Protein backbone atom coordinates (compact mmCIF):
# COMPACT_ATOMS: atom_id res chain seq x y z
CA UNK A 1 0.00 0.00 0.00
CA UNK A 2 1.09 3.57 -0.72
CA UNK A 3 0.44 6.32 1.83
CA UNK A 4 1.05 10.05 2.01
CA UNK A 5 1.47 12.29 5.05
CA UNK A 6 0.84 16.05 5.04
CA UNK A 7 1.32 18.55 7.86
CA UNK A 8 0.70 22.27 8.05
CA UNK A 9 1.45 24.22 11.22
CA UNK A 10 -1.87 26.05 11.58
CA UNK A 11 -5.45 25.74 10.36
CA UNK A 12 -4.93 28.86 8.23
CA UNK A 13 -2.05 27.38 6.23
CA UNK A 14 -2.80 25.74 2.92
CA UNK A 15 -1.82 22.14 2.26
CA UNK A 16 -2.43 22.29 -1.52
CA UNK A 17 1.27 22.25 -2.48
CA UNK A 18 1.81 19.04 -0.52
CA UNK A 19 -1.44 17.50 -1.80
CA UNK A 20 -0.49 18.10 -5.43
CA UNK A 21 2.96 16.55 -4.91
CA UNK A 22 1.53 13.42 -3.27
CA UNK A 23 -1.26 13.00 -5.84
CA UNK A 24 1.42 13.03 -8.54
CA UNK A 25 2.81 9.91 -6.81
CA UNK A 26 -0.61 8.24 -7.26
CA UNK A 27 -1.40 8.20 -3.54
CA UNK A 28 -5.10 7.32 -3.14
CA UNK A 29 -7.25 9.94 -1.37
CA UNK A 30 -8.16 7.42 1.35
CA UNK A 31 -4.47 6.96 2.10
CA UNK A 32 -3.67 10.66 2.53
CA UNK A 33 -3.36 11.77 6.16
CA UNK A 34 -3.40 15.49 7.00
CA UNK A 35 -2.58 17.12 10.34
CA UNK A 36 -3.04 20.84 10.94
CA UNK A 37 -0.85 21.44 13.95
CA UNK A 38 2.70 22.11 15.12
CA UNK A 39 5.50 19.70 14.30
CA UNK A 40 7.08 20.01 17.75
CA UNK A 41 6.10 16.42 18.63
CA UNK A 42 4.33 13.40 17.14
CA UNK A 43 1.17 13.54 19.25
CA UNK A 44 -0.90 14.28 16.14
CA UNK A 45 -4.17 12.40 15.54
CA UNK A 46 -3.83 11.74 11.79
CA UNK A 47 -0.16 10.78 12.05
CA UNK A 48 -0.93 8.28 14.82
CA UNK A 49 -3.87 6.90 12.83
CA UNK A 50 -1.65 6.44 9.79
CA UNK A 51 1.11 4.68 11.75
CA UNK A 52 -1.45 2.18 13.08
CA UNK A 53 -2.41 1.32 9.47
CA UNK A 54 1.13 0.92 8.12
CA UNK A 55 2.26 -2.64 7.41
CA UNK A 56 5.58 -4.16 6.37
CA UNK A 57 6.67 -3.17 2.83
CA UNK A 58 4.17 -0.28 2.63
CA UNK A 59 5.47 2.96 1.12
CA UNK A 60 5.12 6.42 2.70
CA UNK A 61 5.58 9.67 0.79
CA UNK A 62 6.18 13.04 2.46
CA UNK A 63 6.96 16.31 0.68
CA UNK A 64 9.85 17.41 2.91
CA UNK A 65 11.46 16.29 6.16
CA UNK A 66 10.08 19.24 8.16
CA UNK A 67 6.54 18.08 7.29
CA UNK A 68 7.30 14.93 9.26
CA UNK A 69 8.35 16.99 12.27
CA UNK A 70 10.65 19.68 13.66
CA UNK A 71 12.15 17.99 16.70
CA UNK A 72 15.54 16.52 15.76
CA UNK A 73 15.54 13.63 18.23
CA UNK A 74 11.94 12.68 17.58
CA UNK A 75 12.31 12.73 13.78
CA UNK A 76 15.20 10.26 14.06
CA UNK A 77 13.23 8.07 16.47
CA UNK A 78 10.13 8.04 14.24
CA UNK A 79 12.26 7.26 11.18
CA UNK A 80 13.71 4.28 13.09
CA UNK A 81 10.26 3.09 14.19
CA UNK A 82 8.83 3.35 10.66
CA UNK A 83 11.75 1.80 8.76
CA UNK A 84 13.08 -0.74 11.28
CA UNK A 85 10.10 -1.74 13.45
CA UNK A 86 7.29 -1.27 10.92
CA UNK A 87 9.49 -2.28 7.97
CA UNK A 88 8.13 0.35 5.58
CA UNK A 89 9.89 2.46 2.98
CA UNK A 90 9.90 6.27 3.13
CA UNK A 91 10.40 8.71 0.26
CA UNK A 92 11.05 12.41 0.97
CA UNK A 93 10.16 14.08 -2.33
CA UNK A 94 12.25 17.23 -1.83
CA UNK A 95 15.35 15.16 -1.03
CA UNK A 96 15.91 12.22 -3.42
CA UNK A 97 18.72 10.87 -1.20
CA UNK A 98 16.06 10.15 1.43
CA UNK A 99 14.45 7.26 -0.42
CA UNK A 100 14.83 4.03 1.55
CA UNK A 101 13.89 1.93 -1.50
CA UNK A 102 17.30 2.72 -2.99
CA UNK A 103 20.64 1.56 -1.70
CA UNK A 104 19.53 -0.99 0.86
CA UNK A 105 23.17 -2.01 1.12
CA UNK A 106 25.43 -0.69 3.87
CA UNK A 107 26.63 2.36 1.90
CA UNK A 108 23.08 3.36 0.87
CA UNK A 109 21.79 3.03 4.42
CA UNK A 110 24.79 4.95 5.81
CA UNK A 111 24.32 7.79 3.30
CA UNK A 112 20.57 7.97 3.99
CA UNK A 113 21.20 8.11 7.75
CA UNK A 114 23.73 10.96 7.39
CA UNK A 115 21.39 13.01 5.17
CA UNK A 116 18.49 12.39 7.58
CA UNK A 117 20.54 13.53 10.58
CA UNK A 118 21.69 16.70 8.81
CA UNK A 119 18.19 17.59 7.61
CA UNK A 120 16.62 16.84 11.00
CA UNK A 121 19.17 19.09 12.67
CA UNK A 122 18.48 21.87 10.13
CA UNK A 123 14.70 21.55 10.71
CA UNK A 124 15.08 21.83 14.49
CA UNK A 125 17.66 24.61 14.21
CA UNK A 126 15.22 26.63 12.08
CA UNK A 127 12.53 26.08 14.71
CA UNK A 128 14.90 27.35 17.42
CA UNK A 129 15.76 30.39 15.26
CA UNK A 130 12.06 31.17 14.78
CA UNK A 131 11.51 31.02 18.56
CA UNK A 132 14.50 33.31 19.14
CA UNK A 133 13.27 35.82 16.53
CA UNK A 134 9.81 35.80 18.14
CA UNK A 135 11.30 36.39 21.60
CA UNK A 136 13.47 39.22 20.29
CA UNK A 137 10.47 40.78 18.52
CA UNK A 138 8.37 40.61 21.69
CA UNK A 139 11.20 42.10 23.79
CA UNK A 140 11.65 44.93 21.27
CA UNK A 141 7.90 45.61 21.24
CA UNK A 142 7.78 45.68 25.06
CA UNK A 143 10.73 48.12 25.07
CA UNK A 144 8.67 50.38 22.78
CA UNK A 145 5.80 50.22 25.28
CA UNK A 146 3.60 47.74 23.40
CA UNK A 147 1.44 45.82 25.85
CA UNK A 148 0.45 42.19 25.26
CA UNK A 149 -2.63 40.38 26.48
CA UNK A 150 -6.02 41.75 27.45
CA UNK A 151 -6.14 45.29 28.77
CA UNK A 152 -6.69 45.29 32.55
CA UNK A 153 -10.19 46.03 33.82
CA UNK A 154 -10.78 49.50 35.24
CA UNK A 155 -10.15 49.73 38.98
CA UNK A 156 -13.28 49.77 41.18
CA UNK A 157 -14.40 53.14 42.61
CA UNK A 158 -13.20 52.45 46.17
CA UNK A 159 -9.78 51.10 45.10
CA UNK A 160 -7.73 54.22 45.90
CA UNK A 161 -9.13 54.47 49.41
CA UNK A 162 -8.64 50.74 50.13
CA UNK A 163 -5.14 50.85 48.66
CA UNK A 164 -4.11 53.85 50.81
CA UNK A 165 -5.44 52.26 54.02
CA UNK A 166 -3.74 48.94 53.14
CA UNK A 167 -0.42 50.69 52.46
CA UNK A 168 -0.73 52.55 55.78
CA UNK A 169 -1.33 49.22 57.56
CA UNK A 170 -4.84 50.20 58.69
CA UNK A 171 -6.41 47.14 56.99
CA UNK A 172 -5.13 43.79 55.78
CA UNK A 173 -4.68 42.88 52.11
CA UNK A 174 -7.54 40.39 52.43
CA UNK A 175 -9.87 43.09 53.77
CA UNK A 176 -8.80 45.56 51.07
CA UNK A 177 -9.32 42.96 48.33
CA UNK A 178 -12.77 42.08 49.71
CA UNK A 179 -13.72 45.76 49.85
CA UNK A 180 -12.77 46.08 46.16
CA UNK A 181 -14.53 42.86 45.13
CA UNK A 182 -11.23 41.30 44.01
CA UNK A 183 -9.29 38.15 44.72
CA UNK A 184 -6.30 38.84 47.01
CA UNK A 185 -3.82 37.89 44.25
CA UNK A 186 -5.53 40.29 41.84
CA UNK A 187 -5.50 43.09 44.42
CA UNK A 188 -1.76 42.60 45.04
CA UNK A 189 -0.98 42.41 41.32
CA UNK A 190 -2.91 45.62 40.63
CA UNK A 191 -1.21 47.25 43.64
CA UNK A 192 2.21 46.56 42.06
CA UNK A 193 1.07 48.36 38.91
CA UNK A 194 -0.62 51.10 40.93
CA UNK A 195 2.48 51.98 43.00
CA UNK A 196 4.56 53.38 40.09
CA UNK A 197 1.52 55.36 38.90
CA UNK A 198 1.12 56.81 42.43
CA UNK A 199 4.71 58.01 42.54
CA UNK A 200 4.75 59.68 39.07
Catalytic residues: 9
Residue 69 contacts residue 121 (beta carbons within 8 Å): no
How far is the C-alpha of 38 from the C-alpha of 111, rounded, in Å?
Answer: 29
How far is the C-alpha of 20 from the C-alpha of 27, rounded, in Å?
Answer: 10
* Number of DSSP helices (H) and strands (E) in the chain, helices first: 8, 4
In this structure, the chain runs to a length of: 200
Helix, strand, coil proportions of the chain in percent (round to 5)?
Answer: 55, 10, 35
How far is the C-alpha of 53 from the C-alpha of 84, rounded, in Å?
Answer: 16
Radius of gyration of the chain (CA): 27
Amino acid sequence: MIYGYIRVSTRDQNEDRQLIALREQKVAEDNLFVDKQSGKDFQRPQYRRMVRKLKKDDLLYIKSIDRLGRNYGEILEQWRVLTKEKGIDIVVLDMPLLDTRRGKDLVGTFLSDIVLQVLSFVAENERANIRQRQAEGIAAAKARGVRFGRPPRPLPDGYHSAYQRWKAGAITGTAAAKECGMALATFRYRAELYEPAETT
